[in-house]
């Protein structure tokens, strides 16, 4: 497996990973109708916009490739979006295809994001995740602590979103 920075030609592949992962990870959390209506093309357009503004926003995106060179996951990180006084960095998105999960890819992607943040002297990070998402256990195993919670109305439902935070991301970077 290879973790590398995104290139422009990767966008269609990460759009597919994004949509396919939403359909598996959020099954039973978000309505089936909403998930069925997700579009690779719309997600692709959104990722082109993110990629085009990444450097000015100080964001970065890494992809994970399998041995065949197929993109099986990605992570997006950068400055924390709300101006939090404790957590300066943010893992904004991380998605790994269901059949590639539980193989250390997510940990490697999070480590890569934390390392990139540390290179910019940012050593704290948070990630927002739906409370009903099984990924919560993943963040807990990486040493993340629940630090915030909020209710939001999205995708036709009232949902709870929680933030996991790390005040010192060097522990993530060193984790094997």
Over the stretch 146-157, which tens digit does the pLDDT of each residue have?
999 999 988 777
Q: What's phi and psi for 123, nearest 5 deg?
A: -120, 15
Confidence of residue 174 (pLDDT cuts 50, 70, 90): confident
Tens of pLDDT along 6-50? 999 999 999 999 999 999 999 988 989 999 999 999 999 999 999
pLDDT of 176 strictly over 70: no
**pLDDT over 70 for what percent of the chain?**
99
- Rounded-to-integer distance, Cα 152 and Cα 148, Å: 13
How much is the pTM?
A: 0.93
Nearest to 172 by CA among 110, 90, 103: 110
The SS3 of residue 4 is strand
pLDDT of 103 strictly over 70: yes
- Rounded-to-integer distance, Cα 63 and Cα 153, Å: 30
Tokens representing 46 are: 């959104």
Are the C-beta atoms of residues 133 and 162 closer than 8 Å to each other? no
Mean pLDDT of the residues in the chain? 94
What CATH architecture applies to the domain 2-123?
3-Layer(aba) Sandwich (3.40)
């Amino acid at each position: 497996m290879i973790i590398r920075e995104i290139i422009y030609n990767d966008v269609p592949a990460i759009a597919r990973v994004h949509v396919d992962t939403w359909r598996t990870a959020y099954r039973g959390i978000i309505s089936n109708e909403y998930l069925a209506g997700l579009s690779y093309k719309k997600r692709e357009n959104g990722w082109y916009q993110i990629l085009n503004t990444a450097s000015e926003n100080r964001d970065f995106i890494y992809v994970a490739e399998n041995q065949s060179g197929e993109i099986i996951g990605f992570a997006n990180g950068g400055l924390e979006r709300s101006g939090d006084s404790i957590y300066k960095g943010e893992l904004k998105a991380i998605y790994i295809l269901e059949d590639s999960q539980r193989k250390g890819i997510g940990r490697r992607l999070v480590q890569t994001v934390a390392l990139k943040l540390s290179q910019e002297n940012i050593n704290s990070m948070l990630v927002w995740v739906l409370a009903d998402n099984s990924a919560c256990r993943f963040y807990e195993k990486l040493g993340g602590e629940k630090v915030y919670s909020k209710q939001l109305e999205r995708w036709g439902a009232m949902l709870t979103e929680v933030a996991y935070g790390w005040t010192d991301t060097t522990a993530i970077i060193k984790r094997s």
